[in-house]
Amino acid sequence: MQPSQGGAGDRELMGRLAGGDREALAPLMERHYRRLYRIALSYLRQPDDALDVVQEVFVKAYQSASRWDGSAEAGPWLARITVNLAIDRWRRNRRRAQTFTPLAESDHVATLADLGPAPDRRVQGREAGERVAAALRALPERQRAVVVLRHYQDMSLEEIAGTLGMSLGTVKSSLHRALHRMRAGLAGEQP
Amino acid sequence: MSLAHLRRRRLVSLLAAGVLEGREREETVAHVEACPRCRAEHDALRAVVAAMEADPLRAAEPEVPLAFLVGRVEREVERALVPEGRPRWWLVALPAAAAVLAVAVLVPAIVARLRPAPEAAHAEIPPAEASPLLTEDALARIERNLAREHAVRYLSEAGEVLVSVAATGVDCDRAEERLDVGRAPERSRELLERRTLVVRGGGEAVASARGVLDDVELALREVADLPSCVKRADVEHVRREVEERQLLMRIRLMTRELEG
Average pLDDT of every residue of chain A: 81
Alpha helices in B128-246 (DSSP H): 136-166, 184-202, 210-224, 232-244
Q: Which residues, listed in sequence order, are joined to residue B230 by a DSSP beta bridge?
A: B179
End-to-end Cα spacing for chain A: 29
% of chain A with per-residue pLDDT over 90? 50
Within 10 angstroms of residue B234's Cβ, the number of other Cβ atoms is 18
Pick the closest to residue B89 from B77, B81, B101 (CA basis).
B81
Residue among B10, B21, B41, B55 with most chain A CBs within 10 A, to mutate: B55
* Distance, CA of B7 to CA of B9 (rounded, Å): 5
Amino acid B80: pLDDT:
74
* Type of residue at B98: A
Is residue A166 included in any domain, yes or no?
A: no
Residues whose CB falls within 8 Å of the CB of residue B16, separated by 6 or more in sequence, listed in order: A179, B42, B45, B46, B48, B49
Summarize pLDDT for B117-153 with one digit per residue, the tens.
444 444 444 444 444 455 667 767 777 777 888 888 8
Summarize pLDDT for B54-101 with one digit per residue, the tens.
888 888 898 888 888 898 898 888 877 665 444 555 455 555 666 666
Which member of A41, A121, A124 has the closest CB to residue B57? A41
Check residues A99 and B234 and name the one with the higher pLDDT. B234
Q: Would you call A181 an interface residue with chain B, using a CB distance cutoff of 8 Å? A: no
* Distance, CA of B246 to CA of B240 (rounded, Å): 9
The answer to whether the CB of B60 falls within 8 A of the CB of A47 is yes
Q: Would you call A62 an interface residue with chain B, using a CB distance cutoff of 8 Å? A: yes
Residue B165 has pLDDT above 90, yes or no: no
* Type of residue at A17: L
A36-45, B137-146, B164-173: which is most confident: A36-45
Cβ–Cβ gap A147/B52 under 8 Å: yes
Is residue A26 included in any domain, yes or no?
A: yes
A30: domain CATH number?
1.10.1740.10
Residue of B nearest to A179 (CA): B45
Structural domain span for residue A92: 1-102
Using alpha carbons, list the distances in angstroms from residue A174 to A164, B13, B115, B116, B141. 12, 11, 89, 93, 66
* Distance, CA of A176 to CA of B48 (rounded, Å): 12
Residue A191: pLDDT band (50, 70, 90) is low
Residue ranges covered by each domain of chain B: 3-59, 66-85+135-259
Amino acid A7: pLDDT:
54
Summarize pLDDT for A119-147 with one digit per residue, the tens.
455 555 566 678 889 999 999 999 999 99
Q: Would you call A135 an interface residue with chain B, using a CB distance cutoff of 8 Å? A: yes
The number of distinct structural domains making up chain A is 1
ipTM for the whole complex? 0.78
* Type of residue at A115: L
Amino acid B243: pLDDT:
82
The answer to whether the CB of B150 falls within 8 A of the CB of B196 is no
Strand order in the sheet with B171-173: B171-173, B178-180, B229-231
Residues whose CB falls within 8 Å of the CB of residue A154, separated by 6 or more in sequence, listed in order: A1, A2
Using alpha carbons, list the distances in angstroms from residue A130 to A53, B1, B238. 22, 34, 30
Cβ–Cβ gap A186/B169 under 8 Å: no
- Residues of chain B contacting residue A126, judged by C-beta atoms under 8 Å apart: 56
Cβ–Cβ gap B57/A37 under 8 Å: no
b/e per residue, B150-180, with b = 16+ CB within 10 A? bbbbbbebbbbbbbbbbbbeebeeeeeebbe
* Distance, CA of A17 to CA of B245 (rounded, Å): 29
A16-25, A135-144, B237-246: which is most confident: A135-144
Is residue A185 included in any domain, yes or no?
A: no
B40-49, B152-161, B164-173: which is most confident: B40-49
B166 CA: distance to closest CA in chain A (Å): 11
